[in-house]
C-alpha cells in the first residue's frame, strides 16, 4: 500500500511557502515553476500502469474528497486557483510526491492562505499522523447525513462571446516569448513558436487572471498546431504535430514580422 510522502516533507514545504513573503508575491516572482516539465530532459520515461485503479490507497480517495470540500468551504473558488497552488509547492515535493500527494500540498497551501488553518496547525497534524498516513485514514460509511455530491457541479468554463475573434482557422500565428508571472496555460516549450490555427472555440474563462482572483476575463480560445521540428528541432520524430489549446493573449498574428 502506498504512503503519502507529503506528510514527511510538509514542514519543509511550509517553511519555504510561508517564510515572511506574501503567497501571491511569491507566485508572481517566478515565471516558470517545476511543474512545467514539457520538453525537459532527465526525468525518465512516463510509465503507464496497466488497469490502473482510480486510487492506489485510501488516503488518495480522502484527498480527492478534500478537494471538493475545500471548494465548498471557500478555500478556493475555481480550478485555476487550485492548479496554481499545486504549481507552487516545494519543487522537491513536486517531483517526489505522487499525483494526489501534490494535490494535498496544494490543498494545504490554500487552507493556510485563506486563513482556514495556520501552517502550525497543518504541520502539527502531519506530525501526528506520521509518514504512513494510509493506516490512519478511516473508511467513510456508504450513507451519512453529511455526505455531499462529488465532484461539485461547477458548470462550464465557456462564456458568452465578448469580442470578435482576432484569428481565423488557417491563420499562421506565433506564440509570445514572455507570459505574465504566475499561472499560465502556455507551456515554456511552446513559447516563441510558429503554428497554425486549426480550430476556434469561442470565449472561455482566462486562467491567467482567474487563478489570481483577478476575474474571469473571458478570452477567445483556439487550437493551434505546431510541427514537431518547430518545437523540438531537427532531431524531432518525423511527421509529429502537436496541437495545443491556447488563449488569444498568447498569440501574435500577421503584424509580427519575425521568421
User: Which pLDDT tens digit goes with each residue over 71-93?
Assistant: 888 888 899 999 999 999 998 88
Q: How many helices (H) and strands (E) does the chain have?
A: 9, 6
pTM of the model: 0.78
B/e letters for 232-242, b = 16+ CB within 10 Å, e = fewer, are eeeeeeeeeeb
> What is the reported pLDDT for 88?
92
- Grid cell at residue 236: 524531432
Same domain, 164 and 75: no
Q: What's residue 219's pLDDT?
A: 96
The answer to whether position 248 is within a domain reads yes
Q: Do 124 and 242 share a domain, yes or no? A: no
How many domains does one find in the chain? 2
Q: Which of 136, 169, 194 is the last residue of a domain?
A: 136
Does 51 reside within a domain? yes
Per-residue pLDDT tens digits for 149-173: 666 666 789 999 888 999 999 999 9
Residue 58: its pLDDT value, please?
Answer: 82
Q: Which domain holds residue 172?
A: 158-252
Query: Strand 251-252 relative to strand 219-227: parallel, antiparallel, unpaired?
Result: unpaired
122 and 182 both lie in a single domain: no
The answer to whether 220 and 249 have CB atoms below 8 angstroms apart is no
190/112 same-domain check:
no
Q: Which CATH number belongs to the domain containing residue 176 in this structure?
A: 2.30.30.50
pLDDT at 208: 95
Q: Is 75 in the same domain as 16?
A: yes
Given 104, 136, 168, the domain boundary residue is 136
Looking at the domain assignment, is residue 141 inside a domain?
no
Where the chain has pLDDT below 50, the residues are 1-3, 5-31, 256-259
Residue 259 lies in a domain: no
Question: Which pLDDT score, from 0 to 100, does residue 191 have?
Answer: 94
pLDDT the model gives residue 255: 53
pLDDT at 113: 93
Give every CB contact of residue 146 below 8 A, 6+ residues apart in sequence: none
Distance between CA atoms of 252 and 176, rounded to whole angstroms?
A: 7
238 and 193 share a domain? yes
In-domain check, residue 99? yes
Q: Are 204 and 247 in contact (CB under 8 A)?
A: yes
What is the 3-state composition of the chain as percent helix, strand, coil, each rounded to the nearest 5? Answer: 35, 15, 50
Q: Verify that 170 and 132 share a domain, yes or no.
A: no
Strand 241-247 relative to strand 194-204, pairing:
unpaired
State which of 136, 171, 203 marks the end of a domain. 136
Q: What is the CATH number of the domain that holds 40?
A: 1.10.472.20
Residues 55 and 127 placed together within one structural domain of the fold: yes
Amino acid at each position: 500500500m502506498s504512503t503519502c510522502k507529503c506528510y514527511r516533507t510538509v514542514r519543509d514545504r511550509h517553511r519555504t511557502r510561508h517564510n515572511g513573503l506574501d503567497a501571491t508575491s511569491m507566485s508572481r516572482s517566478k515565471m516558470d515553476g517545476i511543474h512545467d516539465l514539457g520538453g525537459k530532459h532527465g526525468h525518465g520515461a512516463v510509465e503507464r500502469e496497466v488497469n490502473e485503479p482510480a486510487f492506489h490507497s485510501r488516503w488518495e480517495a480522502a484527498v480527492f474528497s478534500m478537494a471538493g470540500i475545500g471548494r465548498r468551504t471557500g478555500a478556493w473558488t475555481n480550478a485555476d486557483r487550485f492548479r496554481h497552488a499545486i504549481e507552487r509547492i516545494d519543487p522537491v515535493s513536486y517531483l517526489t510526491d505522487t499525483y494526489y500527494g501534490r494535490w494535498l500540498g496544494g490543498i494545504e497551501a490554500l487552507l493556510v492562505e485563506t486563513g482556514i488553518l495556520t501552517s502550525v496547525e497543518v504541520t502539527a497534524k502531519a506530525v501526528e499522523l506520521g509518514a504512513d498516513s494510509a493506516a490512519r485514514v478511516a473508511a467513510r460509511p456508504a450513507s451519512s447525513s453529511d455526505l455531499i455530491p462529488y465532484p461539485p457541479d461547477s458548470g462550464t468554463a465557456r462564456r458568452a462571446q465578448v469580442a470578435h475573434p482576432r484569428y481565423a482557422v488557417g491563420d499562421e500565428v506565433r506564440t509570445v516569448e514572455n507570459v505574465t508571472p504566475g499561472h499560465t496555460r502556455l507551456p515554456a516549450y511552446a513559447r516563441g513558436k510558429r503554428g497554425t490555427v486549426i480550430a476556434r472555440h469561442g470565449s472561455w474563462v482566462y486562467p491567467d487572471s482567474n487563478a489570481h482572483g483577478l476575474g474571469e476575463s473571458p478570452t477567445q480560445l483556439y487550437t493551434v498546431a505546431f510541427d514537431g521540428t518547430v518545437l523540438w528541432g531537427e532531431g524531432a520524430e518525423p511527421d509529429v504535430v502537436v496541437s495545443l489549446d491556447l488563449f488569444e493573449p498568447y498569440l501574435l498574428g500577421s503584424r509580427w514580422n519575425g521568421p
